[in-house]
Amino acid sequence: MRITVHRAVSSVVCATAALAAVLTAVSPAAAFNQSAYWTIYDASGELVEDVPLTATAGDEVTVRPAVIAEGVTPDPSAVETFTLSGATATFTSATQTDGSFCQISGTTAVCHDPGGPGSTCPYPPGGLGFREGCFALGILPTEQGTVTLTASAAGDAFDPNPVTSSTTITVSSASTAPTVTGISPDSGPTTGGTSVTITGTGFTGATAVDFGTTPATSLTVNSDTSITTTAPASSSIGAVDVTVTTPNGTSVTTSADQYAYTYRFAGFFPPVKNPPMFNKAEAGRTIPLKFSLGGDQGLNILAPGSPFVHPVDCITGAPINNATGAADGSGLTFDSATSTYTYAWKTSKAVTGTCQQVNVRLADNTDHTADFSFK
């Protein structure tokens, strides 16, 4: 009796390299030639080549073993037992094409094979065979590693020696593209250079990080869920998607992977003091709001309606109400010699005795404030 294993072409079990035959020693006194081995056939029953079985964790595979007797009338009481060991895997189904009864329980499948000339199993290579039974075993591996599949056929009246053979299924981890679930910090200046931590999954083996279409200037894979990188410079403000590329693919863009490029605002220049300091000023005077954005960014750097002012508490600096008004002035200018922007804020006499906060909101949607106490 021989035990062979073949697979249908539609099976997701992969054929990738040569697999040596596995022979089981039998009694020298056996009345008939008896051995056990695993081999692979195509759907028509023709021998293709000996190959290893491979699978991916979480994906069901189908293995099709055949039990074939040479020169022996098949025994209707024959029982074939299939077992799984090694990396975690279970049987999901077991069927016999000739209609005999199969039972599965976790890592064991037992089939009662009546045999007979109506079987659809292929002959073993080079053998004179009588086809007994053909089986289809559904196997679900859930762990990376090696699963050992063992087939055992009980002896019969002509030869009591049982036949046992085993082969292995090499299970790889699921090949999934990385995902990005967080960016910290999620903004930085257009000049680049900001150290950014990316969180997500599937980062092992990462080969690239891109901010929009621009590659990051550095990449360190801390773990499968964390990457430290450096944001590259950008020619414009606004949000871009940060993507991670590994051998398994590139992360799909979502709202969680966005990084906002902003102007490089470093605070107001004297004579204006930055928070938490209050500036003392005379109502009705023009106050120069000077700042730099790291170079000439053009004159369209202000958000619509900016700058604007609203009253604040003179002790805590907290807004008194939601009332806001435009900060009147003579407009925005840029001095190329000093790389400085200036907005000349013309204050109103009406703010005498109050405290006001001026907010220069830039086109990148960032707010920059200064507090004033007017006399």
Average pLDDT estimate for 206-223: 96
Highest-pLDDT range among 5-9, 61-65, 101-105: 101-105
The total number of residues shown for the chain amounts to 375
Digit-coded pLDDT (tens) for 294-347: 899 999 999 998 999 999 999 998 999 876 677 776 789 999 999 999 999 999
105-124 pLDDT, tens digit per residue, is 999 999 876 555 445 555 44
pLDDT tens-place string over residues 43-97:
444 444 445 578 888 888 888 776 554 444 455 566 788 999 999 999 999 987 6
Q: Is residue 307 reached through a cis peptide bond, with omega within 30 degrees of 0 on the bond before it?
A: yes
Which domains are seen in the chain, by residue range?
Answer: 2-172 (2.60.40.740), 179-262 (2.60.40.10), 278-374 (2.60.40)
- Positive or negative: CA dihedral 190, 193, 194, 200: positive
* Whole-prediction pTM: 0.56
Are 252 and 246 spatial neighbours (Cβ–Cβ below 8 Å)?
no
> Between the CA of residue 365 and those of 215, 262, 322, 328, 345, what are the distances in Å?
25, 8, 19, 20, 20
Q: What is the pLDDT of residue 38?
A: 44
pLDDT at position 121, please?
Answer: 56
Least confident of 23-37, 151-165, 180-194, 221-235: 23-37
Using CA atoms, how far apart are residues 111 and 152, in angstroms rounded to an integer?
11
How many whole angstroms from its chain centre is CA 67?
A: 42
How many CB atoms sit inside 10 A of residue 221's CB?
Answer: 19
